[in-house]
Chain A
């Protein structure tokens, strides 16, 4: 199955049906909202809404979830520029230059360039997704359980090694995430594992609760400790960038599209990571690097472009291999699983309607978001001023609704609360959250493919090293971990602080 125009056209046909269009619009609005409001990110928003979407058919539900994700990437720029509050970690570089521009009275053009760059990069990388994903899915079709296991193993290793200075903590977070997922009944034999004899734990710990806790509740707790900050507001007069602005930014838009898209293919490279890389790269090629951090419009273009390109890029491994590249996509993968869908090569074969409708809806979503963001910027900036004492309790309430409605068990709500406290502590102590989330979501697939591989090889783990593709992945994984560990213990990585993720 290679790319075919008829599939894409059919996808557009589906995306244009009223129901799907409506949910793309809802997703875009919610996504922008999530991007604008500090204290709630796309990961927690998707996790909270996921159980609620089960009343919908899969196509509109997934369209909405995807739109929330890329919509948040648009929304984050508004508050970063206008009030210097990055709603998302990935909007921090935008705030560096955007807010300076706003103070110089050029907030309008900065917002304009941010929206245009988001649109250009988002659309360009969607083209990449459209042609790349089916191609990779073809490759993935040749994968057996050993290759899959090795690929997931490598993905987790990559995420761990991208934890940077906190490599050891990344490893711990991954192992904890996997261990938590083991609680409950063994998927094959039905043996109770790590339940300590309690009945509640038999049903296992639901990963949606884990994610709602780590991201939504944990984030609220981080915000609770701070008193509300006073906010300086800028007037937005004219949002149209000048010819000069566009001339300065178009190179950055294109470069950041490429950087964002290709880095977005890698697990662990979430927008929070790639925007910083693209911003740095732009500073290096710039003829006026001294302006960066003091109001360089191309800095805004680079950060916002990379943001959205990464977002679409991440859908490539998700659709073709079923491997999420970051926390938000991990939750989306969980969404697929709730519908009994298994992302991966077979998805293109068995559910072409779903894949292509979602891809087509992303083209539409980008247009919707451009329209939503340019003229309505003032409105979004105003919404961002909702004070936290009003927002925080509501996020808690929504988290409880989300956690409860997965299986309608109070147990899941308590689990979310416990992981909320854990998430708060992890943030403070420098443990990265992304590896834990990825591990929790991938655990079941990982275990199943390991079991199937061992059945194939009659119990010998050598199978991962005798099949060439699997062997390459395993080798890469081992090299990455070893290299990271060496850095950690050779003193070079001895600094103990970690960078916060997402």
Chain B
């Protein structure tokens, strides 16, 4: 795997950070400003981008020069990556459904799916749990605290 050791990871993240620094350096230069200001709106972003560019390079370099014992990063195994990616994907789907389906319904779906996926409990138990949570959240946050969440076609 690409960033198996801390050294490799430092070099990769250093390079990425230097790139990010460069990108925001260019973006900072494009910040318009008013003359006569003691601190131009672009000055701080410019300086910070420079710091990120330089420190990114330094990280890359220090990884390059590192000759000590290889430190293995505690990345998840194949199964772990699958769990993370599927969890992330379900969160993304949840966020995309939040507005069209409404907060309560989409939250119920997320709870049911994720709890089932991570825990493989009995489906009836999971549905009851999801239902209970969704109802509590609906009454606590929407009815009691009066937060305005997206409502779906059914009004909740």
Which A residues have a C-beta under 8 Å from some C-beta of B? 52, 55, 168-169, 171-172, 175-176, 178-179, 182, 186, 188-189, 191-194, 196, 220-221, 224-228, 387-390, 392-394, 396-397, 400-401, 404-405, 408, 410, 413-414, 417, 421, 424, 428-431, 447, 450-451, 454-455, 458-459, 488-489, 494-497
Contacts and interface: CB of A to CB of B under 8 A. Distances in A.
Interface centre among B3, B27, B49, B91 (most CB of A within 10 A): B91
B149 A191 contact: no
A451 B7 contact: no
B138 to A, nearest CB: 11
B7 A496 contact: yes
B156 to A, nearest CB: 15
B7 A179 contact: no
Nearest to B134: A397
Interface in B29-60: 31-34, 37-39, 41-42, 44-45, 48-49, 51-52, 55-56, 58-59
Interface string B90-124: 01101100110000000100110011001111000
A221 B84 contact: yes
Contact of A191 (B9, B31, B98): B31
B126 to A, nearest CB: 9
Contacts of B99: 410
Given A52-B141, A390-B115, A404-B149, 4 more contacts: A189-B34, A226-B80, A495-B71, A496-B6
11 contacts: A171-B51, A191-B33, A193-B41, A194-B27, A224-B83, A392-B87, A396-B110, A400-B107, A410-B98, A431-B13, A495-B68
B38 A428 contact: no
Contact of A392 (B13, B75, B118): B118
Contacts of B6: 429-430, 496-497
Interface of B: 3, 6-7, 9-10, 13, 17, 24, 27-28, 31-34, 37-39, 41-42, 44-45, 48-49, 51-52, 55-56, 58-59, 62-63, 66, 68, 71, 73-76, 79-81, 83-84, 87-88, 91-92, 94-95, 98-99, 107, 110-111, 114-115, 118-121, 129, 133, 137, 141, 145-150
B117 to A, nearest CB: 8
Nearest to B34: A189
B59 A172 contact: yes
Nearest to A55: B145
B33 A189 contact: yes
A182 B41 CA distance: 9
A193 B48 CA distance: 13
Contact of A193 (B45, B52, B110): B45
Contacts of B110: 393, 396-397
Q: List 8 tightest A-B contacts by C-beta distance, closest first.
A: A389-B119, A225-B80, A389-B118, A225-B76, A393-B114, A186-B41, A454-B38, A191-B41
A55 B88 CA distance: 31
Contacts of A55: 145-146
Contacts of B51: 171, 175
B77 to A, nearest CB: 8
A450 B91 contact: no
